[in-house]
């Protein structure tokens, strides 16, 4: 079974995260065993991004959501290794600024949507406004339910404009999160990533699970699907995300655009003359 089918959240089913094993690692027992497939997927993705940028007809939006320490930054760093920065953007959505908060919740998001030929990566996203706000009781059920509809309409509009949307929930266990927090405490290169809120938010784990299950179930559609990626093993997380991206973009049947000039005329008028001048 392909990763797209295995990890796809069916719009007709109610997501239950506890039924999905965050420790899953597919057919590979170790990172070393998966390395060849991982590199192949990364190279395929790199080649497709070059085609996407050259053709300039489609765009791709990648949404990354997860509990703290699940690896949003790591996914970006590893999956997009080798991707040309030209044509790729990353946007991070933290607590809204006063200006952003004075507008509707999607106002700050739309300017970061990808233009044709581009890939945009959202490290957290418009979904924060049906997750954090819900868990901290800043909005009520009527509001977050209405926002689901707004999100579906927003994403449908992007799809109508040629955007392929891929949304990934990076699924880790509560125990794995605590282990990664410990690594941040012990590793000087990671100390900067730890904060007191990491621990205070853990107390709300079950509330976040409920919010994620409802939001993902309500907004996974055939044109803007959610995938729940087992992420206790970072290497498998990277493999699964890159495979799903490569397979999905591959379905776009991208091709290099035709030249906008007469190549034979260019060769005759300029190239041949340059070669002759250099004595070739």
Which structure tokens are listed for 227? 């995938």
Contact 171, 231 (CB under 8 A): yes
Dist CA 69 CA 252 (whole Å): 33
The boundaries of the domain holding residue 260 are: 3-277
DSSP 132: H
Q: Which residues of 33-44 are buried (b: 16+ CB within 10 A; e: fewer)?
A: ebeeebeebbeb
Dist CA 167 CA 155 (whole Å): 11
What is the pLDDT, as a whole number, of residue 106?
98
Q: How far is CA 110 from CA 93, 122, 154, in A?
A: 12, 11, 9
Dist CA 190 CA 184 (whole Å): 5
Q: What is the largest CA-CA distance in the chain?
A: 77
DSSP 239: H
Dist CA 209 CA 190 (whole Å): 26
Q: Which residue has the tokens 């027992």?
A: 29
CATH number of the domain enclosing 237: 3.40.50.300
What is the pLDDT, as a whole number, of residue 107?
97
What is the pLDDT, as a whole number, of residue 273?
65
* Among candidate residues 167, 170, 159, the one with its CA nearest the CA of residue 226: 167
Cα–chain center distance at 70: 13
**Half-sphere exposure of residue 226, counting CA atoms within 13 Å on the CB side?**
25
Please state the domain count of the chain.
1
Dist CA 155 CA 221 (whole Å): 10
Which structure tokens are listed for 104? 């509707």
What is the pLDDT, as a whole number, of residue 275?
64
Contacts of 140-149 with CB under 8 Å at 24 or more apart are 144/214, 144/215, 145/218, 147/105, 148/215, 148/218, 148/219
Task: Kindly report the length of the chain.
Answer: 280
Beta bridge mates, 122: 63, 91
pLDDT along the chain (280 residues), means of 10: 92 94 94 94 94 96 97 95 90 95 97 97 97 97 98 98 98 96 91 88 96 98 97 97 95 92 86 65
Q: Which residue has the tokens 């803007």?
A: 224
- Contacting residues for 179 by C-beta, under 8 A, at least 6 apart: none
Dist CA 108 CA 94 (whole Å): 11
């Amino acid at each position: 079974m392909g990763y797209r089918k295995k990890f796809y959240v069916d719009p007709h089913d109610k997501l239950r995260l506890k039924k999905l094993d965050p420790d899953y690692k597919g057919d590979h027992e170790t990172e070393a065993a998966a390395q060849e497939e991982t590199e192949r997927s990364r190279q395929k993705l790199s080649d497709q991004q070059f085609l996407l940028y050259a053709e300039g007809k489609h765009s791709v939006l990648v949404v990354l959501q997860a509990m703290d320490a699940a690896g949003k930054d790591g996914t970006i760093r590893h999956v997009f290794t080798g991707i040309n920065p030209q044509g790729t953007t990353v946007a991070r959505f933290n607590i809204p600024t006063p200006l952003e908060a004075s507008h509707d919740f999607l106002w700050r998001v739309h300017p970061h949507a990808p233009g044709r030929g581009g890939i945009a990566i959202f490290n957290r996203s418009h979904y924060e406004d049906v997750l954090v706000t819900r868990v901290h009781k800043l909005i009520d059920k009527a509001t977050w339910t209405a926002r689901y509809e707004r999100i579906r309409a927003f994403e449908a509009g992007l799809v109508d404009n040629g955007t392929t949307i891929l949304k990934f929930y990076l699924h880790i266990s509560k125990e794995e999160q605590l282990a990664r927090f410990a690594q941040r405490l012990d590793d000087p290169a990671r100390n900067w990533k730890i904060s007191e809120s990491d621990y205070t938010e853990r107390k709300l784990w079950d509330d976040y699970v409920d919010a994620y299950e409802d939001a993902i179930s309500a907004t996974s559609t055939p044109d803007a699907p959610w995938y729940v990626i087992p992420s206790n093993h970072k290497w498998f997380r990277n493999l699964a995300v890159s495979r799903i991206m490569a397979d999905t973009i591959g379905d776009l049947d991208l091709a290099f655009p035709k030249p906008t000039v007469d190549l034979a005329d260019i060769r005759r008028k300029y190239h041949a003359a340059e070669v002759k001048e250099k004595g070739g």
